Amino acid sequence: RASAAALAARSLRPPRGFGAAPRSARVSAEAGRGTRCGGAVLGGLTQGLSDGCAESQAGSAAPGRGRFGESGGKRAQRTVRQQIRVIVVAGGASKEVLIKVHACGVNPVETYIRSGTYARKPALPYTPGSDVAGVIESVGEHVTAFKKGDRVFTLETLSGGYAEYAVAAANRVFPLPEKLDFRQGAAIGVPYFTAYRALFQKGCAKAGESVLVHGASGGVGLAACQIARACGLKVLGTAGTEEGMNVILGNGAHQAFNHRDPNYTERIKACTGPGGVDIIIEMLSNVNLDADLQLLSHAGRVMVVGCRGRVEINPRDTMSKESSIIGVSLFLATEEERRECATAVLDGIEAGWLKPVVGLEYPLEKVAKAHEDIICSSGARGKMVLLL
């Protein structure tokens, strides 16, 4: 297990050598090559994000795959400069909206995609960013749910959210209530939909059960704590710092543990008693899965939300308790499942228990630092967001 963790750490090295372009250069640099959608040029970051972290994965970026293939490896690490591209979008489609972006959440998967290590490779040029919060600038002719000026958040964008404007399919856009600011809006989509899916759509959680949110201080973890608490579960959470533990306790957890404390799993066992914990929402399976199996109750389930490498377990541990290890992928949610998540999330906002916690904030120019920090830092205290 130790070697799996070490391997993961090596393969997720931080980006290096990024320069920052002045904000004013973002759109103007290549505006002449851009396409207009709803009257606005879509500016975004592309090549500046497509290198660095994945030195040890350089071979995995297939040659000839455009900028990703060229810039994912060592050669590019010597030469990379942050560049600004105007994204060409098939804009104005009838069921799409154009959003003036105010904030965009940073998700760890965006670093995996940028470095070329992720199974799904994006079309190039690629601008990361799913979780946008902003204001509708214009709508396609068949969009009735939104109008210019509406505050919204997204679950996904078509053009990329690390940009001043983003195009999104209308069915991936949701109203952002006045009680939440744009930073909070950028912390809703992927984290809360994933947490809801892990708990209920895949984990079949029920009121009265217990849940261990293993890695509770980040975007998905805090969402899971809030949702589980609101739905009547007993909530245990882990963080790597005192500060993180306090944030967890303020957001639904009954008990918090420090996953850097060598004895923390013993403390969790002492808290749950011999019955164990019913559900584990696991953010770092390659490190924790073996220990998780020891913490589960009879018929307990580990929900694999995050994983950065391989791990060794003894499958016998699942037999003795008839426990389950279940993968979670928000990407595979059906339209109906996404609607269910959205209903739960919007109800939670209205009721007041769903309050996204924003952690580190970065201007768009510091996006390379944000990518470095989300992978390499320990001590999350909420959702990381980019401000525009």
Task: Kindly list the residues in this chain that would bind ligand NAP in the complex (CB under 6 A).
Answer: 107-109, 190-191, 194, 214-221, 238-241, 244, 259, 283-284, 287-288, 305-306, 328-330, 374, 378-380
Please identify, using beta-carbon distances, which residue of 36 and 254 lies nearer to ligand NAP: 254
Please identify, using beta-carbon distances, which residue of 5 and 93 lies nearer to ligand NAP: 5
Which helix H or strand E contains 153, and what residues bound it? strand 151-154
Task: Tell me the HSE value of 264 on the side-chain side, using a 13 A CA sphere.
Answer: 21
Task: Tell me the HSE value of 20 on the side-chain side, using a 13 A CA sphere.
Answer: 12
Q: Phi/psi class of residue 116: alpha, beta or left (left: φ > 0; alpha: ψ in -120 to 50)?
A: left
Please identify, using beta-carbon distances, which residue of 91 and 215 lies nearer to ligand NAP: 215
Q: Which residues contact 296 (CB under 8 A, 6 or more apart)?
A: 276, 277, 278, 280, 302, 321, 323
Minimum distance between the CB of residue 98 and ligand NAP, rounded to whole angstroms? 26
Please identify, using beta-carbon distances, which residue of 140 and 382 lies nearer to ligand NAP: 382
Please identify, using beta-carbon distances, which residue of 279 and 284 lies nearer to ligand NAP: 284
Q: Which residues contact 35 (CB under 8 A, 6 or more apart)?
A: 41, 42, 86, 87, 88, 89, 91
Taking only Cα atoms into account, the Rg of the chain, rounded to an integer number of angstroms, comes to: 21
Minimum distance between the CB of residue 312 and ligand NAP, rounded to whole angstroms? 16
Minimum distance between the CB of residue 288 and ligand NAP, rounded to whole angstroms? 5
Whether residue 240 contacts residue 379, with contact meaning beta carbons closer than 8 Å, is answered with: yes
Please identify, using beta-carbon distances, which residue of 85 and 383 lies nearer to ligand NAP: 383
Minimum distance between the CB of residue 220 and ligand NAP, rounded to whole angstroms? 4
Q: Cα dist. 31→36, 123, 129, 215, 243 in Å?
A: 10, 21, 21, 42, 44
Please identify, using beta-carbon distances, which residue of 108 and 161 lies nearer to ligand NAP: 108
Minimum distance between the CB of residue 318 and ligand NAP, rounded to whole angstroms? 20
- Indicate the residue whose CB is closest to ligand NAP: 218
Minimum distance between the CB of residue 295 and ligand NAP, rounded to whole angstroms? 12
Minimum distance between the CB of residue 148 and ligand NAP, rounded to whole angstroms? 31
Tell me if the bond preceding 125 is cis, omega within 30° of 0.
yes
Beta strand 173-175 pairing with 151-154? antiparallel
Minimum distance between the CB of residue 372 and ligand NAP, rounded to whole angstroms? 12
Measure the N-to-C terminal CA separation of the chain; round to a whole number of Å: 40
- Other Cβ atoms within 10 Å of 191 Cβ, number: 26
Please identify, using beta-carbon distances, which residue of 9 and 90 lies nearer to ligand NAP: 9
Give the DSSP letter of residue 13. P
